[in-house]
Amino acid sequence: MYTLSRQRELDVLRVLLQEHRGRYRTQLRLLDQPQSQQSPRTLDRSTLEAATSRRLDDIERALHALEHGGYGVCARCVRDIPIDHLARHPAANQCPVCSNARPPAPAEHRHGG
């Protein structure tokens, strides 16, 4: 399935993802605590909580996929997604090239029909 070097990269990524998961869980626990003072510069707590929850969900999906194989393969070109891209975007299912590519035009537009 994976080459030995790719597996090692994914093992390193797994450790980083587990660390991120711990940080996001801690952040959600802190956000759940009552706030003593409302600072005018504080972001809306519900917005921050929602964003943190989304990131945690991405991390959980990535870790689940790592455990069950098939993680880190582009859904379009079927090539390995670079580890640095996965580290920045753990829920990525496309490589940077494919995710930036424009989708093909519908058949009627390509043929002038």
The pLDDT value recorded for residue 32 is 85
Question: What gap in Å lies between CA 33 and CA 49, rounded to an integer?
Answer: 12
Q: Which of 8, 21, 83, 97 is nearest to 58 (CA)?
A: 21
Q: pTM (2 decimals)?
A: 0.72
Residue 25, token pair as written in the block: 């869980």
Structural domain including 20 reads: 4-110
Q: For residue 70, report the phi and psi dihedrals to the nearest 5 degrees.
A: 85, 0
> The domain spanning residue 67 has which CATH number?
1.20.120
**How many domains does the chain contain in total?**
1
Helix or strand holding residue 103 (H, E): none
Per-residue pLDDT of the chain (113 residues; tens, 9 = 90+): 568 898 899 999 999 999 999 999 999 999 888 766 555 556 688 899 999 999 999 999 999 989 988 789 998 999 999 999 998 888 898 999 998 887 655 554 444 44
The pLDDT value recorded for residue 90 is 87
